[in-house]
Amino acid sequence: MDSVYSSFCPECNKKNTEIVLDHAAGDTICSECGLVLEDRCLDEGCEWRIFTDDNNDNDPKRVGAAIDPLLSNSNLSTFISTSNRGGATAVSDSVLNSSLARFQNHKLSANNDNLIKGFEAIQAMADGLSIQKNIVIRAKEIYKKIDDERQCRGRNQSAVFGACLFIACREVKLPRTLKEISVVANGSTKKEINRASEQIKKTLDVETGTLHAGDLVRRFCSHLGMKNQEISVVQETLQKSEELDIRRSPKSVLAAIIYMISQLSDNKKPIQDISSAAEVAEGTIKKSYKDLYPYASRIIPNRYANEEQVLQKLCQP
């Protein structure tokens, strides 16, 4: 059984309630109250069938692909049959019909060729960064829109695919940095991806807002294996640091705070590891740490470390 999200359940009157799809029974069930919302649901996944006379062969062969709402029905092509019966006239008609069939089939599939290649590339990039499915779907939607507008022709396609993924991540508040995207973008540089993303945002009138360091806290800390309590302290410290006049980039301030909280914990992290996780140079982290150090006892929550502990455990910049 799979879980999805419904817009509304009439029994418990709860919007965006989680529902469960029971494929065996064909029922759609509200997880809150157990009401059967629908007693017939269609499985749009891939079909499987065995094409062999040997009943002991359990190797399934795929029949068709899963339905993709972003693609046209290119698999429903009409093929014109040809025949050589009926003399020279029939042969001439056969050649004509064969040409028409090739033209028709090419026309039906040509519109989807670019989309399929783009979708596959976006999926490969997302897999390389372990990006969740809803972000991938949004990135594909963005690519389809700019492909329909023919705004991506003549550009570095890998940069365009990376830009679509970059924008989708920013929209759902789970941002990835340009450096992370460029690693899986088949050689495209951060500059190329940024240019492509700016062009896409201008074309589609998309607003992604500015990158906030708070959106990166959990991911950076998770890469370092920090505990939930430490992550919560980093988030609170970061919020208090915004009241200070620290003229550093949000990422460098965040990296310095992670380094600061790490020193106060029992599980200290080397600055090299923090530099790698946050993608900030060690020298930059040290400079940001030097700017934050005078305010350490003010921005670090007392429940985690009092002023005396801060002064004892934090190293001098």
User: Does residue 299 have a pLDDT over 60?
Assistant: yes
H-helix segments, 43-86: none
Record the pTM. 0.60
Please report the pLDDT score of residue 303 as a whole number. 86
User: Is the pLDDT confidence value at 83 over 80?
Assistant: no
pLDDT band, residue 309 (cuts 50/70/90): confident
* DSSP H/E element including 135: helix 133-148
Mean per-residue pLDDT, 172-179 = 84
> Distance (Å, rounded) from C-alpha 297 to C-alpha 263?
13
**Residue of higher predicted confidence among 302 and 74:** 302
Instruction: Give CB contacts under 8 A, 24+ apart, made by 283-290.
Output: 284/248, 284/252, 284/255, 285/252, 285/255, 285/256, 285/259, 286/317, 287/248, 287/252, 288/246, 288/248, 288/252, 288/253, 288/255, 288/256, 289/256, 289/259, 289/260, 289/317, 290/317
Does the pLDDT value for residue 61 go beyond 90?
Answer: no
For residue range 196-230, list pLDDT tens digits in order: 999 998 888 887 777 788 888 888 888 888 888 99
Encode burial over 27-57: b for 16+ CB neighbours within 10 A, e otherwise.
Answer: bbbbeeeeeebeeeeeeeeeeeeeeeeeeee
The more confident residue out of 14 and 288 is: 288
User: In this predicted structure, what is the pLDDT of residue 274?
Assistant: 92
Note the pLDDT tens digit of each residue in 137-151: 999 999 998 888 877
What is the reported pLDDT for 143? 92
pLDDT at 186 over 80: yes
Check pLDDT > 80 for residue 45.
no
CA distance 108 to 146: 20
- How far apart are alpha carbons 121 and 245 in whole angstroms? 42
pLDDT band at 260 (very low <50, low <70, confident <90, very high): very high
Mean pLDDT estimate for the chain: 78
Closest CA to 232 of 206, 196, 261: 261
pLDDT-derived band of residue 93, with 50, 70 and 90 as boundaries? low
**Is 155 a residue whose pLDDT tops 90?**
no
pLDDT of residue 89: 47
pLDDT tens column, 288-297: 999 999 998 8
Answer positive or negative: Cα dihedral of 244, 250, 252, 258.
positive
Would you state the pLDDT for residue 215? 82
% of the chain residues with pLDDT over 70: 71
